[in-house]
Amino acid sequence: MRMKWVIAVVGVVALAAVAVTTELPWLTKKQAAMVQSGDAKTAEGERAGTSDHESKLSCPADAKDANLNFTLKDVSGKDVALADYKGKVILLDFWATWCGPCKVEIPHFIEFQTAYGQQGLQVVGVSVDDTLDKLEPYVRDMKMNYVVLQGLGHDDLQDAFGPIFGIPVSVLISRDGK
C-alpha cells in the first residue's frame, strides 16, 4: 500500500514538473518569451495585435450584463447594494475564511485595491459560507481594505455568476456592467 502512495506522489511531481517547464500553449513563442522575461504587458499587446500603449483588457462584444441587483450585508451589518458600484471596475471574489487558496489571494486584492482604487477599481469579497461574527475579526486580522460581504444564504448571487462549484472564484465586471 505504501508503494502505491510513493508511485502516486512521484507521478504527481513529474506531471507538475512537466507543466511548469512547458511553454504556455495558447501563446506564440514570441509571446511566451515575453511572459517568461516578465514583459507581460508587451505579450498581451502582441496577442491583441496592438502596441504596448494600445494594449487594453476589454469585454467581448457579446458580453452579457452582469446582474448587480443584489444587496448583502457587510462585516458591520450594513446593507450594501452591488449596483452602487456600477461605473467602477468590480473585482468580485467568492471566497471563505477556511479556504487556503482564498487566504493566499487576499494580500493581492489588498494591493489591487490600494494601487487602483483611486482609478475606479472596487474589490468586493463575498464570503460564501461564513457568519458575520466570524467574518469581522477575520477581515480585521487580515487587514482587508476592500468591501467584504456576507454571501451566506445568497446562493442566487453565486448562481448569477456561476455555477460556482469551488472557491476561490473571481469575476471581473467592467465599468459598464458587463
Residues recognised as catalytic? 99, 102
End-to-end CA distance of the chain: 52
What's the grid cell of residue 178? 458587463
What's the grid cell of residue 22? 512547458
Q: How many residues are given for the chain?
A: 178
* Other beta carbons less than 10 A from residue 17's beta carbon: 10
Q: What gap in Å lies between CA 105 and CA 146, rounded to an integer?
A: 13
- By DSSP bridging, strand 121-127 and strand 71-74 are unpaired
Q: Is 55 helix (H, G, I), strand (E, B) or coil?
A: coil
